[in-house]
Amino acid sequence: MGLDQYAFTRREGEKDTEIMYWRKHADLEGWMSELYYERGGEADMFNCVELELTLEDLFRLKSQYKNLEPTSGYFFGTSGQYEENQTKVFIDNAIQAIEAGYTVIYTSWW
């Protein structure tokens, strides 16, 4: 058990394609959860919720991903250099995907 996080692309008429998987990147989960609720998300818990990311979101994350607020939760684990490196790759790939006409979705399960 634990925090599993996924990012994937979506386009009508095509199968969703995973572009990143994180295992227990707690600080990113906190950032995504905060974004969800800033947008008026109504789920009681940010768990198994799809969050569509925009270019604006990704540029914001790009400026913050090295200094995300520490987040903790049951089974969340801790974030480190490996997760930070994965997030950099994700941001670059997600920006390219949106520019190519795809929607980028983040979701998690814990």
Rounded distance, CA 98 to CA 101, Å?
Answer: 5
Largest CA distance in the chain: 38
pTM for the predicted model, two decimal places: 0.94
Q: What is the pLDDT of residues 19-77, one digit of tens each?
A: 999 999 999 999 999 999 999 999 999 999 999 999 999 999 999 999 999 998 878 98
Mean pLDDT of 74-93: 93
Cβ distance 5 to 29 under 8 Å? yes
